Amino acid sequence: MIKTLRKAVLPVAGLGTRFLPATKATAKEMLPVVDKPLIEYAVDEARAAGIEQFCLVTGRGKTALVEHFDIAYELEATLRERGKHAELRALRENHLPPGAIATVRQQEPLGLGHAIWCARSFIGDDPFAILLPDDLVLADVPCTRQLADAYHETGGCVVAVAEVPRAQTSRYGILDIGRDDGRLVEVRGLVEKPRPEDAPSNLSIIGRYVLVPEVIGFLERMDRGAGGEVQLTDAMAKLIGRVPFHGLRYQGRRFDCGDKVGFLEAQIAFALKRPDMAPAVRAFLKNYVTDGAGPDA
């Protein structure tokens, strides 16, 4: 019997070195795209997939991430007094039921696999989703919803996958693929950050997964992989052949917000989706980029 997916782990203990100095005293996952921090997009996406229990894997200097999900009573009272109803609504949208959000600490950033292992008590014997908040997916059906649907169809593990240019395989976890119906791809093997000439395909895993709890047993070994880190991909690879394992070509567009250019692209794409902002942003881009006009033109 396939267990219903109710839990999500959100690892947020990385150092965010690519965004220094912005991330010196602020968590990368608190950086906003338009007016919402990355962490809130991830939690919203998980909730839209039926997730009810959340675990943030945090580290030093990440307190704001947890406080973001507290109720700001004084602020809400002030907004109410001042009649700022839209702002009040925006704050209330992120209220989670009491006890829905838990945190565990990863004292040292030893890798994504290690971060997930830190959440082992939260995971228990249940299937769980992983969302890396710095991957943002713009989609009509939220990406985790698409994954959850595929998981309830197939059971086992399902990871969101996208084609990447072959020259870039060394940045990603890459699939060795079997049967492929254009949507679901059977996973035969997984390799973390292979050189283009060694890559078994150009299908890469993005920061959305549904995994079975058995992965914890393989993480437990703390084998070091690419970059000397405990790699989630290596532990997942050990599940292949033991449980069904699929890649899902999700519908939508992914932005790598852990990268400066990806983060800027996300700002533009999400602003262009907002009716209150799109005309001004489009006009700015047209003048500034297309017509080559300078800032004062």
Counting contacts by CB under 6 A, is residue 7 touching ligand UTP? no
Q: Of 40 and 134, which CB lies nearer to ligand UTP in the complex structure?
A: 134
User: Residue 233 in contact with residue 173, Cβ under 8 Å?
Assistant: yes
For residues 53-92, which are near ligand UTP according to CB under 6 A? 57
Residue from 8, 132, 148, 203 binding ligand UTP (CB under 6 A)? 132
d(CA 17, CA 135): 16
- Asked whether 231 and 142 are in contact (CB, 8 A), the reply is no
Among 5, 7, 8, 28, binds ligand UTP (CB under 6 A): 28
Contact indicator for 176, 200 with CB cutoff of 8 Å: yes
Q: Site for ligand UTP (CB under 6 A): how many residues?
A: 21
Task: Dig out the tokens for 93 from the structure.
Answer: 């949208």
Residue 133 makes contact with ligand UTP by CB under 6 A: yes
In angstroms, rounded to a whole number, what is the distance separating the alpha carbons of residues 102 and 114? 17
Q: Does 14 bind ligand UTP (CB under 6 A)?
A: yes
> In a 3-state reduction of DSSP, which class is residue 208?
strand
In the region spanning residues 255 to 294, those forming contacts with ligand UTP, defined by CB under 6 A, are 258
- Closest C-alpha to 39, from 24, 50, 28: 28
Question: What is the total residue count of the chain?
Answer: 297
Helix (H) or strand (E) holding 38: helix 38-47
Cis peptide before 142 (omega within 30 of 0): no
Q: How far is the CB of 14 from ligand UTP (least distance, A)?
A: 2
Q: Is 134 in the site for ligand UTP (CB under 6 A)?
A: yes
- Answer positive or negative: Cα dihedral of 92, 94, 100, 106: negative
Question: Looking at residue 3, what DSSP letter applies?
Answer: P
State the nearest-atom distance from the C-beta of 114 to ligand UTP, in Å: 6
Smallest CA-to-CA distance from 65 within 121, 108, 16 is with: 16
> Is residue 13 part of the contact set for ligand UTP (CB under 6 A)?
yes
Q: Which residue's entry shows tokens 């914890």?
A: 216
112 near ligand UTP, rule: CB under 6 A: yes
Q: Does 106 bind ligand UTP (CB under 6 A)?
A: yes
Q: Which residue's C-beta sits nearest to ligand UTP? A: 14
Stretch that binds ligand UTP, among 131-139, 192-200, 212-220, 269-277 (CB under 6 A): 131-139
- Helix and strand numbers (H, E) in the chain are 11, 13
Q: Which of 5, 7, 33, 111 binds ligand UTP (CB under 6 A)?
A: 111
Region of 89-97, 110-118, 163-171, 277-285 interacting with ligand UTP (CB under 6 A): 110-118
Residue 38 engages ligand UTP in binding (rule: CB under 6 A): no
The residue within the footprint of ligand UTP, chosen from 5, 11, 142, 231 (CB under 6 A), is 11
Sites of contact with ligand UTP (CB under 6 A)? 11-18, 28, 57, 106, 109-112, 114-115, 132-134, 258
